[in-house]
Structures are given as C-alpha cells and as structure tokens.
Amino acid sequence: MITVCDTPSMLRIGLTGGIGAGKSSVSARLAARGAVVIDADRLAREVVEPGTSGLAAVVEAFGPDVLTAEGALDRPALAAVVFADPTARQTLNAIVHPLVGARTYERMRQAGEDAMVVHDVPLLVENGLGPSYHLVVVVHADEDVRVDRLRRDRAMPAEQARARIDAQATDEQRRAAADVWLDNGGSLRTLENAVNQLWDDRLLPYQENLRARRPATRSGQAEIVPSDPTWPAQAERVLGKLRAALGETAVRVDHIGSTSVPGLAAKDILDLQVSVRAIADADAAANTFADAGFPAVQRIRSDEPKPIEPDPARWAKRYHNNADPGRQVNLHVRVVGWPNWRYALLFRDWLRADADARGAYERHKLALAADFPDYAGYAEAKEPWFDQALPKAEEWAARTGWSA
C-alpha cells in the first residue's frame, strides 16, 4: 500500500486495467496533460537490473538458471518457474514488492507535494491497493477486443492471450474498485477525448480543491432521484479510503442516510459516518481527513439536539465534505455511544427493515423537495419528521432487540 503522508497536497491516482485494455494510452495522455506517471512495471524491471540487490536476491532464491548468458534476468525462464507455483510466486513477490514500493515512494517525493501522480499498476485490483489512492481509474475493453490487440501488437497466440486475461481480475472485480471507468473499445481519439474530459472536469478541480483544503462546489438544489443500486458499492470504495487513512482513529465507518437504504429515493449524495472514541479524536484527525480528500466544514459543529438527551455537548460532531467534484459525500464524525451516533444507525436499520416507514419517508422527502428546492431549506424542513418518527423507530428497536 502506498503511503505518502508528507505530501498532503498530492493527488494520487491509481490507474489499472486488464492486459490489452489500453492502459498505456491513458497514461500517455495523462502525462501529456501534466500528470507525473509512475509505471509499476517499469520499476519492477529496474529493481532487478544487473548489479542490483534485487537481482542478487532473485538468483539466490531461484538459482543461476534464471539468468541469461549476459547476466541479466531471464524473464521467460523465471516466469516458467513462478507461473504455476504459488509458493515460488510469493517468494518472488516478497523480494520485488518492497523494492518497488521504496522506489515508488522516492518517485512520488521527487514529483513534489502539489503534483498529480498517476500510479500505473497492472495488478492494483488483485493486490487490493485501491484504498491507497484518492481515485482509481480503470481502463476497460471487452475480452475479444483485448485478444485481437494482443495478437496484433504482441504476436501473442489467442489461447495464450485468453489465459493471461483469465489469470487477472474479472471485470466485476475491477468495477467494484473503479471510481472512474474508461471504456476503450473504440478509437484512440475517442479514448483521448474521454481522458481530456476526465482531466478538465474532475482531476484538475480535485487537485485544486485538495491543495486549497476546500470541498468541491456542489449544487444547492435538493433533487431527489430514484434509488441507485450502485450506491452501496460507491460508498464502500470511499469507506475503504477512510479506513486506510484513519487507521485506529476510526472505531468503525458506516454508510448511513437515504442512499444506504435499498429502494429509497434520495439525493445523489453519500452520507457516511466515522465513529471515534472522543470528539478530540475527530479534531486531531482533521488534517488526515483533508489529506484523504475530505476537508472540514467548520460552520457545522453539532446535530440538532432532541428532547431525549438534554446535554447539547453530546450532540456535537465534526462534519466534512469531499474535495472530489465527481462524487458528493457528506461525512459525519460522531462519538460512539452519543445519541446522534446511535440515531444515524437506528434510522438506517429501521428504514431498511420497515417497508411502510420507508414508503412514508420517501413520500415526505419528495413533497419537501418540491416545496423547498434549495438544500438548506429542505434539510431544515425535514427535521420535524425525524422527531415524529423517533418513537416508532425506538419501538421497532425494542421489539426486535436492535443494537448499534
């Protein structure tokens, strides 16, 4: 996993895609627009060049038969050893991966803290590296297209091409990891236009927001849209980044709010909750949140207190929005056991379980959005519904034995 805690303004992009998908074309275009591209495959070759400690370690592990007559690494010979032997492959990875990680860190430091770094990693999904990056960009092409490219560009037999494709992550696994999905089934010009649009509309504004420690600009309109079945997967990607950034500071992280309730119409905004042990922990982690792409919104310091808990201090929270203009997120940082923390989880689970309550809430939301088109007015007008619904949610919790 790539950690660059001393380069807080650096936007880190993970770029990946299956063999033959056209990842190199995307990295070339991003480099032309100004990104610093770090090619993991190239670094993996560098760390085992003649005279390196990496090559010496490989020879010690696998013997002199993995060397050419000139003393360089015989890659086909090494591949024949490790391809069909998981233990041998683990041994090789244990040698090469730390060396590549150290070289990657060096290149990122050299790029400068305000750079936009694109880390080109073929096995990003397979190695679970997605949470290390602000965004993961996946380049995709259908299998038949990829096989044709491999036959044409690398003279690779079709059977071998399909075997290489089958040995990598599936399209479904890559979709689960992708913040951005670039389809490269067409022409190079079409792909470059898509990369240019991504750069102008998302990457460059994200970089500027990250540097300025400010949330992305968002619409003030309270538009309710039909439930999107991909919301949970989108939320899980963001939650993974938060887990990686916060470590033990976060007791737990949860998808809450309307987008966490299947079938419920909602604003296309992910509400997430980070649970901490004390409000001081939330304050201490403010820079960590900002480095991860979630700057604080200082004007919001508390939820609206409810009569059940008279102490306003126990309704305190810290609130962040994200700097990414391509995915709106409301991030609520609350203390474990406090009433606002509990209610966020209670309402989510009650609405998931009770179809009648879910339907009533959706009708209420749609009516309010029509009457209060601006987000601030909509949010304020919605509060009385929660006051009226709270006893019903509590009754459900008592009847079912629910606990947070």
CB-based contact 110:5 (threshold 8 Å): no
**137 dihedral zone (left: phi>0; alpha: psi -120 to 50; beta):** beta
The pTM score is: 0.91
Domains defined for the chain, CATH in brackets: 11-212 (3.40.50.300), 231-400 (3.30.460.10)
Q: What is the per-residue pLDDT for 237?
A: 97
Please give the chain's pLDDT, 404 residues, in tens: 444 445 668 999 999 999 999 999 999 999 999 999 999 999 999 999 999 999 999 999 999 999 999 999 999 899 888 877 889 989 999 999 999 989 998 998 898 888 999 999 999 999 999 999 999 999 999 999 999 999 999 999 999 889 889 989 999 999 999 999 999 999 999 999 999 999 999 999 999 999 999 999 988 787 999 999 999 999 999 999 999 999 999 999 999 999 999 999 999 999 999 999 999 999 999 999 999 999 999 999 999 998 888 899 999 999 999 999 999 999 999 999 999 999 999 999 999 999 999 999 999 999 998 888 888 888 888 888 888 999 999 999 999 999 99
Count of residues for the chain?
A: 404
Cα 377 to Cα 381: distance, rounded to the nearest angstrom = 6
Q: What is the per-residue pLDDT for 2?
A: 47
φ, ψ of residue 44 to 5 degrees: the values are -65, -30
Q: What tokens appear for 347 in the block?
A: 């309402």
φ, ψ of residue 191 to 5 degrees: the values are -65, -45
Q: What is the per-residue pLDDT for 1?
A: 43
Residue type, 211: R
Residue 320 has what DSSP assignment?
E
Residues of the binding site = 20-25
Q: What is the per-residue pLDDT for 44?
A: 93
H/E stretch holding 255: strand 252-256
Count each helix (H run) and each strand (E run) in the chain, helices first: 16, 9
Residues of the binding site for ATP = 20-25
H helix intervals, 127-183: 143-154, 158-166, 171-177
Residue 70 has what DSSP assignment?
T
Cα 111 to Cα 187: distance, rounded to the nearest angstrom = 31
Q: What is the per-residue pLDDT for 342?
A: 97
- Of 87, 98, 58, nearest to 75 by C-alpha is 58
CB-based contact 255:235 (threshold 8 Å): yes
CA 286 to chain centre: 19
Q: What is the crossing angle of helices 339-353 and 355-371, to 10°?
A: 110
